[in-house]
Amino acid sequence: MFTGIIQGLGTVTGISPIKNGKRLLIRPDFELENPELGESIAVNGVCLTLTSMVSGSFSVDVSPESLSRTTLSAIKVNDKVNLERALRLSDRLGGHIVSGHVDTVATISTRKEQGDFIFFSFSLDPALDRYIIEKGSIAIDGISLTVNRCQPGSFSVAIIPHTAKMTTLSFRKPGDKVNIELDVLGKYIEKLLFSSKNRADEKNRPSVDMEFLARHGFV
């Protein structure tokens, strides 16, 4: 589990094939204190497992599923990546709840700089629009951000100077692909609404629907 608060950048220093997957060697631009083999680490928002440490660098294995759903399929040596170590229960939840399980890949449509701020818009599958709301949370390459605006098949965010300095968004441009993790709470609520309604129909018992939520003060 992560928060979407990037701890620093890393550089991909090696890529080697493994059966149906890839092994990445990454050199972090900051010190990994007391790294443990088997710990989770988010690389551009993808939850991976640290499998070895070599002279200040670490390796992770990328499965076929992750390659098929994320931008790690196209990663190259010398590429910069966002890094975040797993959340500890004693940490502040500075961003939002991020699982590191990427839902889809989006494309940067526009980049506009206004003073010290950068405004991005992204295009993605319109079927995912229902999970994106204005002022809601979204993880882009593992970065916890707030949605400014959303329209069918697109949304936009604003990047503050600190986030630009600490992440790969400082050098992202239109046409680049990014990993998107939608807010997990919205997906759970949707499933509960539909599955509860189906069970209620079958067993003739009250369901959790919009009327129920409004009646009890949730919406």
Question: Is residue 62 domain-resident?
Answer: yes
Residue 47 and residue 112 in one domain: no
Question: Is residue 94 domain-resident?
Answer: no
Report the domain count for the chain: 3
pTM of the predicted model over 0.85? yes
Residue 16 and residue 45 in one domain: yes
Question: Is residue 90 domain-resident?
Answer: no
Question: Is residue 54 domain-resident?
Answer: yes
Residue 128 and residue 178 in one domain: yes
The CATH number given to whatever domain includes residue 17 is: 2.40.30.20
Give the pLDDT of residue 100. Answer: 96
Note down pLDDT in tens along the chain; length 219 residues.
999 999 999 999 999 999 999 999 999 999 998 899 999 999 999 999 999 998 899 999 999 999 999 999 999 999 999 999 999 888 888 889 999 999 999 999 999 999 999 999 999 999 999 999 999 999 999 999 999 999 999 999 999 999 999 999 999 999 999 999 999 988 888 888 877 555 555 455 456 667 777 777 766
Give the pLDDT of residue 218. Answer: 67
Q: What is the 3-state secondary structure (H, E, C) of the chain?
A: CECCCCCEEEEEEEEEEECCEEEEEEEECCCCCCCCCCCEEEECCEEEEEEEEECCEEEEEECHHHHHHCHHHHCCCCCEEEEEECCCCCCCCCCCCECCCCCEEEEEEEEEEECCEEEEEEECCHHHHHHCCCCCEEEECCEEEEEEEEECCEEEEEECHHHHHHCHHHHCCCCCEEEEECCHHHHHHHHHHHHHHHHHHHHCCCCCCHHHHHHCCCC
Residue 15 and residue 65 in one domain: yes
Domain coverage including residue 50: 8-85
Give the pLDDT of residue 206. Answer: 52
Question: Is residue 207 domain-resident?
Answer: yes
Residue 166 and residue 197 in one domain: no
Residue 170 and residue 130 in one domain: yes
Residue 166 and residue 201 in one domain: no
Residue 190 and residue 120 in one domain: no
